[in-house]
Structure 1
Amino acid sequence: MTSYAEYVEQIAKLQSLAEAARKDELSGAIQKIKELMQLHGITVEDLAAGGRAKPAKAKGSVAAQFKNPETGDTWTGRGRAPRWLDGKDKEQFRIAN
């Protein structure tokens, strides 16, 4: 039967083998990347400049375009028309600028 110490020793050996394999694969991947960058004329500065995310634009509120004179309700003209405009000419409710 294998002892705990032997398992720990095996784990350490496997971890060192795994790390060596990772370094080999990593150096190969880096070499491929360098070759592709050279082939396409890409510099490190190109990579740094292209990776920045643009800040999100703040969504502003939209001014009301129509107003119900009886209740004071307003509508921006976007989306579904409110019930108080059903069957009516919306231009008569337009807010003058």
Structure 2
Amino acid sequence: MVQISAASARGEVPAIWESIALLPVAEAAKRVVLVQHGQSTWNAEGRIHGSSDLSLLTQRGESQAETSRSCFSMILSRARLLDQRELQRS
């Protein structure tokens, strides 16, 4: 049986939490993008290949990789420009 304190029920922060070191708050929003590789010959056959590199990209996989490259090249070039501005100010 879980017991809830009166303070918790009222939405108050328990005193013990005030002494716990919290992670620092990020100063700026961060973006994390996960990208899967393009379709491989083994993907097309429904085979699981784990870390093997015996499988090659299919024509569809090549197209998917090119699309990813195009999308990320714009984002990365903007990031490089921002990074260069930061370096010039220091």
TM-score normalised by the chain length of structure 1: 0.31
Larger of the two Rg values belongs to structure:
1
Higher relative contact order (CA 8 A, sep 6+): 2
Bigger proportion of residues as strand: 1
TM-score normalised by the chain length of structure 2: 0.33
